Structure 1
Amino acid sequence: MAAEASASAAVEAPKTVVLKSSDGEEFEVESVVAIQSEMIKNMIEDGCAESSVPLPNVVGSVLAKVVEYWNRHGSRKADGAAEGEAKELTEWEKEFVKVEKEELFELINAANFLSTKPLLDLCCQAVADTIKDMAVEDVRDYFGIESDFTPEEEAKIRHDISWAFE
């Protein structure tokens, strides 16, 4: 009987997990909240989260935003929107992603690294909403992309497929 108790204790997930950002900040997060990250969930299930979990790709300020998102959404699952279907953002979500472009891109990278799909979808939706009505040149500026075409080549393309630029 004692062996069964110790075996179940070894499998039991910790109540909290400590996440350590790349710049050394530590965040103690309830396991039930942190498992919104597939990566953290797998680490907990594999017994790899008993001490702190190093996150070398996430700085403290961004990890704080990720934890804020997790805490807001608790252990809830996605709202049921079909895969690929756009959903209306809540006021909280709109405010959450009202950050500088660089921070939004860092959030996207963190959500991807941590395998937190709802957060990744939210941040990507914010980028899509930002660029959807931009001209091609503005989208290039937004992403820091230089045109591969000479002005003459671009003029010819714009002439040949003018419908795409309406």
Structure 2
Amino acid sequence: MESQTIRHMIEDDCANKGIPIPNINSKALSKVIEYCNKHVMAKTVDVSSGSTGVAASDTMAPAALAGDLKIWDAEFINVDPDTHFDLIKIIASL
């Protein structure tokens, strides 16, 4: 649901038989899903209280969580050039 294109396909009930994403390999698509999942979890943080419903992060301030996410993002993108290219293709298609 992080991709507006896919979100609209799901909301318009066009995804019953799958969502075609041509010429995308599973390794790159797995990375995109991993990225979206991580960022969705980060969005669940209530900025005013720092609460996520996830026990481990209940003790962390929102600024610390944002800092951790930046570090995670920097490590996440540390991939080989072929994977970078595949990730760009996915982003462009979504």
Same fold (TM over 0.5): yes
Q: CA RMSD in A?
A: 2.1
Matched positions, count: 70
Structure with the larger RCO, 1 or 2 (CA within 8 Å, 6+ apart): 2
TM-score by length of 1: 0.38
| Letter matched to residue 73 of structure 1 | H
Structure 2 length-normalised TM: 0.65
Q: Report the structure number with the largest CA radius of gyration.
A: 1
Taking only the aligned residue pairs, the percentage that are identical comes to: 39
2:61 maps to none
Name the structure 2 match of 1:106.
86
Question: Which one of 8, 13, 20 corresponds to residue 54 of structure 1?
Answer: 20
Unaligned runs of 5+ in 1: 1-34, 78-87, 115-166
Unaligned stretches of 5+ residues in structure 2 = 45-66
Q: Using the alignment, how far apart are the partners of 1:64 and 1:58 within structure 2?
A: 10
SS in 2 for 1:36: coil
- Offset at residue 51 of structure 1 (A): 2.5
User: Could you tell me how far apart the structure 1 residues matched to 2:14 and 2:93 are?
Assistant: 17
Q: 1:93 aligns with which of 48, 62, 73?
A: 73
Hey, what's the Cα distance between the residues in 2 that align with 1:55 and 1:37?
Answer: 12
Flag the structure with higher helix content. Answer: 2
Cα distance in structure 2, aligned partners of 1:63 and 1:52:
14
Query: Map of 1:21-32 to 2, 5 A cutoff?
Result: none
- Structure 1 residue 54 displacement after superposition: 1.9
Q: Extract structure 1 runs of 4+ deviating beyond 2 A.
A: none
| AA aligned opposite 2:4 | E
Given candidates 9, 13, 16, the residue that maps to 1:43 is 9
- Asked whether the equivalents of residues 36 and 70 of structure 1 are also in contact (C-alpha less than 8 Å), the reply is yes
Cα distance, 1:50 vs. partner? 1.8
Whether the 8 Å contact between 1:57 and 1:113 is mirrored in structure 2 is no
